[in-house]
Amino acid sequence: MKKPLVAALLALVIAGAGAAPAVAATEPEAAPPAVQAVDFAGTVSLSNCSGSVVRMPGSEDDDPALVMSNGHCLETGFPAAGQVIVDRASSRTFGLLNAAGTRVATLRAAKIAYATMTDTDVSLYQLTTTYAQIRNSYGIGALTLGDTHPVAGTAITVVSGYWKRTYTCGIDGFAYRLKEGQWTWKDSVRYTSACRTIGGTSGSPVVDNATGKVVAVNNTGNEDGGRCTDNNPCEVDANGTVTVRAGINYGQETYQIVPCFGLDNKLDLSRSGCTLPKP
Q: In angstroms, rounded to a whole number, what is the distance separating the alpha carbons of residues 64 and 56?
A: 12
Full pLDDT tens readout for the chain, 279 residues: 887 643 343 333 323 333 222 223 333 444 444 446 899 999 999 999 999 999 999 999 999 999 999 999 999 999 999 999 999 999 999 999 999 999 999 999 999 999 999 999 999 999 999 999 999 999 999 999 999 999 999 999 999 999 999 999 999 999 999 999 999 999 999 999 999 999 999 999 999 999 999 999 999 999 999 999 999 999 999 999 999 999 999 999 999 999 999 999 999 999 999 999 999
How confident is the model at residue 23, as a pLDDT?
A: 28
Instruction: Look at residue 36 in the predicted model and tell me its pLDDT.
Output: 61
CB 92 within 8 A of CB 74: no
3-state helix, strand, coil in the chain (%, to 5): 10, 40, 50
Q: pLDDT tens-digit profile of 159-218?
A: 999 999 999 999 999 999 999 999 999 999 999 999 999 999 999 999 999 999 999 999
- Can you name the residues that pair with 143 across neighbouring β-strands? 54
State the pLDDT at residue 4: 66
- Name the DSSP class of 279: -
Confidence (pTM): 0.89
Task: Look at residues 168, 227, 174 and name the one whose alpha carbon lies nearest to residue 193.
Answer: 168
Distance CA 276, CA 127 (A): 21
* Overall size of the chain counted in residues: 279
According to DSSP, the β-strands at 183-191 and 143-144 are unpaired
